[in-house]
Amino acid sequence: MTQIGLNHFLFVSVVLFCLGIFGIITRKNAVMVLMGIELILNSANINFIAFAKYGNFGYQGQMMALFVIILAAAEAAIALAIVLNIYKTFSTVNVDEIDTLKD
């Protein structure tokens, strides 16, 4: 069993990122898309923490991670409000069907 190093963290982060993208692209439900976005943000957090641990940056990485968490919370609040409004307007939260911008 090898020592867990920076690459492992990065690998997890990449997997999370790809899952997030995959979620955003494949899910039809807007809430699921938002969850994909959360996954991407978290993969970024892992990156920050990992570089902070293995690099020589002091606590800057952790600080950024905290910022991102707060930002994610704010974003979730706003995004869910938008989703609610979308639902009110179109009676659905299915992003495939919301394409009036095309016209």
Partner 1 sequence: MTENLLIQFAIIILFLPLLGFVVTLFLGSKVKKIFLFENFVLILAFILSVIMVFAKLNYYPQENIVSEFHWISLNNVPLFGTLNIDLGILVDNISVLMIFVVTLISMLVHIFSIAYMHGDKRYNRYFAYLGIFTFSMTGIVFTHDILMMYIFWELVGLSSYLLIGFWFEKKSASDAGKKAFIVNRIGDIGMFSGILILFSTYHTFTFDKIFTQISLGVLPFNSEFWLTVTGILIFCGAIGKSAQFPLHVWLPDAMEGPTPVSALIHAATMVAAGVYLVVRVFPILTGGALEFIAIIGALSAFIPATIALTQNDIKKVLAYSTVSQLGYMVMALGVGAYKFAFFHLVTHAFFKAALFLGSGSVIHAMHHEQDIRNMGGLRKKLPLTYATFLISTIAISGVPLTSGFLSKDGILAGTFAFGSLTGQWFFAFVGFFVALLTAFYMFRLVILTFHGEPRNKEKFDHAKESPFVMVMPLVVLAALSIFIWYTPNPFNPEQGAFLSKWIKAPTIVVPQNARYSFMKNDVIKPAEQVQTAKPKTEAEITFSESYTEAMHHAHIPAMLLSLTLAGLGILLAFSFYQWKKLDPDKLANSIKPLYKLSYNKWYFDEIYQATFVAFTLGLSNVLYWIDTYIIDGIVNGSATVTKQFSKFSGTFDNIVVDGLVNLMATISGFIGLMFRRLQTGKVQTYIVVVVFSLVIILFLFKSF
CA distance 9 to 27: 26
Told to check if 1 binds partner 1 by CB under 8 A, we report no
Judged by CB under 8 A, the stretch of 8-16, 20-28, 43-51, 62-70 that binds partner 1 is 20-28
Please give the DSSP secondary-structure letter assigned to residue 94.
Answer: B
Q: Shortest approach of partner 1 to residue 71 CB, angstroms?
A: 19
Contact, 27 vs 33, CB < 8 A? yes
Strand partners, 94: 29
* Residue partners of 95: CB distance under 8 A and separation at least 6: 28, 29, 30, 33
88 forms part of the interface with partner 1 (CB under 8 A)? no
- Minimum Å gap between C-beta 1 and partner 1 is 29
Residue 24 interacts with partner 1 (CB under 8 A): yes or no: yes
x-or-dash string of contact with partner 1, 28-47, rule CB under 8 A: -----x--------------
